[in-house]
Amino acid sequence: MTGGQGGQRPKNLSAFSLIFLGLGSTIGSSFFLASGMAIRAAGPAVILGYVFSGVVFYLVLVSLGHLALKYRQRESVRGYVEEALGPTGAFITGWNLWLTSLVGMVSEAVAMAIYTRFWFPWLPLWILVLAYGFLVTVINYYGVDIVDKFEGGLTIIKAGSVLAFTGAMLYVILTRRPAVAVTGLLPFFPNGLRGLNQAIVITTFAYGAGALAAAVGDTRNPRQAVPLATAGMALAQALFFLLPVTALVAVTPWSLISSQSSPFVTGLEHAGIRLGGSVLNAIVLVASFSVLLGSMFTAVAMLASLARDREAPAFLIAGAGERPVKALVVTSGAMLLVSLLAIFLPRHIYRYAVTATGYFSFVNWGAILAARLYLSLPAKYGGRLDTKGLLVAGAGLAGLAAISLMGLTMPEQRFSLLVMVASTLVLLVAGMLVKRGKLAPEAGNREGAAGWLERLLGGPGRNPV
């Protein structure tokens, strides 16, 4: 994390550790709050959305595992993509990972603000968002080592709360106590296929491979651990999403679900377990905070890594053993700047942040699948076609394309999709210019960011003295 970037990390993670890490990084607002948007859109049919998204996610994980074993000398998704697709692909992937983490941080901060308003509804959303953004920045600077020690405990608490909620809903279904009308799963498609299509982008956002992607290089036995972890993580996330959501929509009418509070809190209150709703709200607040911390770490580490590889301004480079403070300040400033949208779009900022994070994630997933597809070609597979790899990567890319086409038909998602396409095109052009030396920031260049921006704007630039 931000504290201490130098040195080699111990390669001692097992398959179980990778699965645990993956669960911890995804049980946040993408599940506890965004699922309410998906349920509101699709009703009980949201179950199919999680199944479809889970299949695409599994194909991405299988491809990631193959890349990790193929390029064991590289320890990041950006490194895998560079080996397969070249430096421009790695440039796009690296900067897009930073953007994904940035928008994800905004969604988690907004979610925390919404949770807090459960107890203090009079507090303005934007003040809470900025306060949580500032707090997570301070902790990333001073207390990351402490956060690391508690991350495992937080994951246990989050996973335990999901299991406890599922158990409570099953108790209500089986005993009809407390006295509440169990709605069942009918009508299954209250808003038709359009509602399901709208929900699929949100359910896809719930799945996340970021932590696993960052840690696959730290396994002590990659050939054994990585395949087990990819399969185990896909199954674990599917179960952790499908079981509680199915139990929720079986007990709680989908029309009661709102994006202004956690659907699981609503479910407990509907079932008459009001104290449980307040306790769960506190747990999901902590869950989002832990994911927010992890997302900021990922963004800061990626920005510092891009600077070291001369793909970001040289002033962001941190010395050996130093905290990447400048990368932290830039990332935090960008997050707080985007968070100001909460002032102007208080009712829609979370929806925009969630859908944008989902579509930005598609670029990362698409890069992994494209790299796997490339390795399946005869020229890279000993003169013959890797049929299995071709099918896995092709099916995954087809799934992402289908979800994106669905988004184009929906005004509330079209904007986020077009922003993703535009940013990817900008990164493509910038990556090509950087690799041709026209934007390359010189490490050790005294002019630092000013010179990098000068080259970006087409100025003459100066050689370091």
pLDDT digits (tens, 9 = 90+) for 265-283: 888 888 888 777 788 888 8
Reported as a single tens digit per residue, the pLDDT across 371-424 is 999 988 877 777 788 889 999 999 999 999 998 888 888 877 888 889 999 999
Cα dihedral 125→130→133→139 (10° resolution): -120
What token pair was written down for 101? Answer: 């983490």
Helix (H, G, I), strand (E, B) or coil at 219: strand
Nearby residues of 264 by Cβ (< 8 Å), 6 or more positions away: 32, 35, 165, 244, 248, 280, 284
The whole-number mean pLDDT for each consecutive block of 10 residues of the chain, a chain of 465 residues, reads 40 67 73 88 93 90 86 78 89 92 90 90 90 88 61 76 89 74 79 88 75 60 74 80 91 85 87 80 86 83 86 77 82 89 75 85 92 86 83 95 86 85 93 72 41 39 32
Rounded to an integer, what distance in angstroms lies between the CA atom of residue 31 and that of residue 226? Answer: 25
Q: How much is the pLDDT for 258?
A: 82
Q: 45-74 burial, b for 16+ CB within 10 Å, e for fewer?
A: bbbbbbebbbebbbbbbbbbbbbbebbeeb
d(C-alpha 223, C-alpha 242), whole Å: 29
For the chain, state the CA radius of gyration.
Answer: 22
Where are the chain's structural domains?
A: 15-309+316-410
Closest CA to 358 of 419, 292, 285: 419
The whole-number pLDDT of residue 74 equals: 74
Q: What is the pTM of this model?
A: 0.84
**Separation CA 140–CA 288 (nearest Å):** 15
CA distance 59 to 16: 20
Amino acid 5: pLDDT: 39
Residues 438 and 373: their CA atoms lie apart, in Å, by 30
The closest of 62, 235, 267 to 165, measured between CA atoms, is 267
The DSSP result for 79-100, as a single string, is HHHHHHH-HHHHHHHHHHHHHH
Distance separating alpha carbons of residues 280 and 106, to the nearest angstrom: 22
* Three-state secondary structure readout of 388-449: HHHHHHHHHHHHHHHHHHHHHCCHHHHHHHHHHHHHHHHHHHHHHHHHCCCCCCCCCCCCHH
Question: DSSP alpha helices (H): ranges in 176-273?
Answer: 192-206, 210-215, 222-251, 263-270
Distance CA 36, CA 262 (A): 7
Q: What pLDDT score does 65 carry?
A: 84
Say which CATH topology domain 15-309+316-410 has: Amino acid/polyamine transporter I (1.20.1740)
Residues 99/422, Cβ–Cβ less than 8 Å: no
